Amino acid sequence: MISSLDAATRRVVGMLQGQRSLARLLALALAVLVVFSVLSPEIFFSVINFQTIAFTVPEIGLLSLAVMVAMLTGGIDLSIVSIANLTALTTAALFAAVGGAEMAGGQAAMLTVLLVVAGLLVALLAGLFNGFLVAVVGVTPILATLGTMQLYNGIAIAWTGGEALYGMPEAFLVIGNNTVAWIPISFIAFILIAVALAVLVNRTPLGTKLRLVGANPTAARFSGIRNRRVLFATYMVTGLLAGIAGVIIASRSASASADYGSSYLLLAIVVAILGGTNPFGGYGTVLGVVLATLTLEMVSSGFNIMRLSPFEYTIAQGLILISVMVLDAVHTRRRGRAARPRRRTGTISPDPQDPTESSAAGSAPVR
C-alpha cells in the first residue's frame, strides 16, 4: 500500500514538473527566437536559417527521444550514439558491397529500403542485447550500456579501421538532404516518429507499463507487470530510435564513420532532462523533448550567426540545464514546505531553547 502511494505521489510530482517544463520551454523558445531575431533579423529570422535548423534537429532529436524512453523506466542508454554509428556503417558497407552508388531509379529505391531495414535490424539486435544485460542479467543500466557503448564502438573501429565509408546511391541521400515544400524530409520523418512514440507512451498498455516500472518497479511487479519484458521492449525501442538516427546521419553526410557525433550523447541527455523527463523514472513527454531539441538548435544557430565558438555554446547548454534544475529544486522545496501539516492551534508548541517548556509541551491546553 505504501509503495503504491509512493508511486502515485512520484507520478503526480512528475506530471507537475512536466507541465512546468513545457511552459518554461515555450517561454525559453520564444525568448531565443526574439533575441536572435533582434540581433540578426536578416539572417536568423529567415527561411534558409529555419530550414538549416530543421535539417539538424532529427539526429539529436531522435537520440534524445531514445534517452527519454530509457529514463521512463528509471534507466539510461549510453550506447545510443554507438548504435547509430553501427547502423550507419552497416548500411554503408552493404551499399558498397553491392555497388549501390552506381544504381538509379526503382532499383536504387528498392535497394535503399532493403538495406535500411538491414541496418535497423542491427540496431534492434544491439538494443536487445542491452535489454538482456539489464533485464535478465540484472546489470545496472548505466553500467550495462556503458559497456555496450565501448563494445559497439570497438566493433565499428575494428571493422572499418577508423575510416569513413562512402558509396550510397542518390535514392538514399534523398532522405537526409531533400525537401518537400521547403521542409526537409528527415524533419518530416522525425515529427511522424515523435507522434508515433507519443501514442506509444501515452495511449498504449506498453507506455503505461514503462511509466509504472519507472515510478516503482516493486509495485509494478506486484501489480502483475512483467518487468523483464518491459525492459526488453524499452531497450529495443531505444535501439530502434538510435538506428533511425544513424540512417539519417549517413544520408545527410553521405558517409558513415565510427566516431561521428562524439558530443551527441551528453547533448541528448541534456535535451531529455530539459524536456521535462524525470531521470529517476516515471514521467517524460515527447513534446517536451521535441521543444527542447528545437530550442537548443535555435540557440546553436544563433551562436553560429553571432560567430561565437562551440565552447561558448557548450557553456550555454550547461547554464541552461543548471538553471532548470535549480528552478525545479526550489519549486519542489517550496511545495514541500507548503504541504507540511500545520501545528494544532489548541496546543502550545515547545521552545527548543527552554528545557522546562519542552518537557511539558503539548500537554497544556489553551484556555
Show the CA angle centred on residue 93, arms to residues 92 and 98, nearest 5°.
100
DSSP codes, 96-120: HHTTGGG--HHHHHHHHHHHHHHHH
Torsion of CA 156, 160, 163, 168, to 10 degrees: -90
Residue type, position 197, single letter:
L
Place of cell 544485460: 133
Question: Averaged over 154-159, what is the pLDDT?
Answer: 94
- Residue 21: helix, strand or coil by DSSP? helix
For residue 359, pLDDT over 80 is answered with no
Question: Averaged over 150-154, what is the pLDDT?
Answer: 96
Residue type, position 157, single letter:
I
Q: What is the pLDDT of residue 340?
A: 67
Give the residue among 245, 86, 110, 89 at the shortest CA–CA distance from 167. 89
Give residue-wise pLDDT tens across range 50-102. Answer: 999 999 999 999 999 999 999 999 999 999 999 999 999 999 999 998 887 77
CB–CB of 107/218 below 8 Å? no
How far does Cα 174 stand from its chain's mean position? 26
Give the residue among 113, 121, 119, 104 at the shortest CA–CA distance from 165. 119
Give the start-to-end residue ranges of the domains of the chain: 2-333
pLDDT classification of 261: cutoffs 50, 70, 90: confident
CATH number for domain 2-333, candidates 3.30.420, 3.30.70, 1.10.3470, 3.60.70 = 1.10.3470
Residue type, position 147, single letter:
G
pLDDT classification of 247: cutoffs 50, 70, 90: very high
Q: What is the pLDDT of residue 17?
A: 53
Give the residue among 312, 302, 263 at the shortest CA–CA distance from 53. 302
**Phi-psi sector, 74: left (phi>0), alpha (psi -120 to 50), beta:** left
